[in-house]
Amino acid sequence: MRISVKYSMDDVQVAIARVIQPIQPISPPRVDNCKAIRQLAFIAEFPSHITQDTAIQVFTEASSIGFHPTVDDLKPLWAFPAFVVAMMQYREGRKNPNEAIWKGSPYYSQWTWLNTKFQSFGFKPQT
């Protein structure tokens, strides 16, 4: 350690400290739902440039029921209330499948409901 102090080798000190500390188990990367919410806000801003399938994919990631967004997390979507409402309906349906908005309706499934819902947003046609 005296050598690293003498030569200002801070990185050596950090490396030694990391070796001495117990190894932490590697956890799987956390899905960045905040990033997905920001992407969804961008998609909502420019729907004619994004395909509906891409929008639905980002929407389902942003609407994960394992994620508990805060008001600040949802702030990018405040300008697009239809997306916020759709997110609320989707999350509620995923949490309570027996009470889902698509159950008992002509939509049959969540995917049909999502496709029908997103058709009204004016996305770029599939090529």
∠ CA 50-118-99, rounded to 5°: 145
48 inside domain? yes
**The amino acid at 26:** I
Residue 28 lies in a domain: no
> Within a domain: residue 49?
yes
Within a domain: 87: yes
- Is residue 27, in this structure, part of any structural domain at all? no
Domain boundaries, position 49: 33-119
Select the more confidently predicted residue: 27 or 92: 92
Burial 110-127, CB ≥16 within 10 A → b, else e: beebbeebbeebebeeee
Q: pLDDT band at 33, cuts 50/70/90?
A: confident
Q: Is pLDDT of 107 > 90?
A: no
Task: Indicate the pTM of the whole model.
Answer: 0.70
Q: Does 19 fall in a domain? A: no
Domain total for the chain? 1
- Residue 39: inside a domain, yes or no? yes
Q: For residue range 36-62, list pLDDT tens digits in order.
A: 999 999 999 999 888 999 999 999 999
Asked, for residue 71, whether it belongs to a domain, the answer is yes
